[in-house]
Amino acid sequence: MQTIDFYMVDAFSDQTFGGNAAAVCPLTEWLPDDLLLKMAQQHNQSETAFFVRNDTGFELRWFTTQVEINLCGHATLAAAHVIFEYLNYPETEILFATRFVGPLTVTRKGDWLTLDFPAWETQEISTPPELLLQTLGISTAKEVRVARDYLVVLENQAQVEALRPDIAAMKPLEKMVCVTAPGDDYDFVSRFFCPGESVAEDPVTGSAHSMLIPYWGDKLNKTVMQARQVSARGGDLRCEWRGDRVLIGGQATLYLLGKVFLR
């Protein structure tokens, strides 16, 4: 029987039940991919982060209940929180090696952790898919763009908060959907919908800010911004645009510590 430490962390929150929960499992060596997927399915969180120590830091991977994914912000923040707070890590910066987006760093300053992620450019769609606006329950959008995910821009925060989309009906789009607008007390706000995943609306989505920060940085002519994801749980993000990189800052709170028993 193999025993693995298990952590559940509320990322992008300084309060329990805020932000976005992620499971985190430190490993001594990589297990088979099918076993990692089964573990993520058993945890039944939007993402489980697995990491293994290497010569320069840690190798990091993320699994949903469906597949391994190329980038996940909140689970990276959660993994860094575990390393800094519970694994006796003495430095103020962690270097993560990843399989799809290269090296990522997370730095600690007080209670805030800052992710250094790639910036993603989005392309405008002049004629967005009819299904996209239909499933969001809106007739028009200020702008629709696409990168890894769809980016739908609305006029104001109230419109984003009022959305009651048919997320299951979005599945034929074959992309996640991020909706954003200028914020009332923040530079911008957003929500993030995940058709086909176990979590229909992601509470706080770090990776989506890889495209949100460059978009709003250009629109607002700013490099430093404050953002909030206005889901039911909600979360605050400190954002900085540095050309082809973005910095995404957040806090994290441990919810659960336990053991996984693999027989």
- Decide if 47 is catalytic: yes
| Average pLDDT of span 98-105 | 96
- The span from the CA of 159 to the CA of 153, in Å, is 10
**Is a pLDDT exceeding 80 seen at residue 18?**
yes
pLDDT digits over 50-75, tens only?
A: 999 999 999 999 999 999 999 999 99
DSSP assignment string, 193-212? E-TTSSSSEES--TTTHHHH
Question: What is the pLDDT, as a whole number, of residue 111?
Answer: 95
Full-model pTM = 0.93
CB 215 within 8 A of CB 145: yes
Write down the pLDDT at residue 198. 77
- For residue 62, give the H/E element and its range: strand 58-63
Q: Which one of the listed residues 47, 93, 161, 174 is annotated catalytic?
A: 47
Alpha-carbon distance of 216 to 113, in angstroms, equals: 22
Strands (E), 112-250: 112-118, 123-124, 143-146, 150-153, 177-182, 188-193, 201-202, 224-229, 235-242, 245-250
Q: What is the rounded CA–CA span in Å between residue 166 and residue 142?
A: 20
What domains, with CATH codes, occur in the chain? 2-119+249-262 (3.10.310.10), 123-221 (3.10.310.10)
Tell me the pLDDT band of 197, cut-offs 50, 70 and 90.
Answer: confident
Closest CA to 144 of 134, 155, 153, 135: 153
Cβ count near 197 (within 10 Å): 19
Which pLDDT does position 148 carry in this prediction?
93
Over range 31-56, report the average pLDDT. 97
Determine the distance from the C-alpha atom of residue 45 to the mean position of all C-alpha atoms in its chain, rounded to a whole number: 13
Percent of the chain at pLDDT exceeding 90:
98
Q: What is the amino acid identity at position 115? A: L
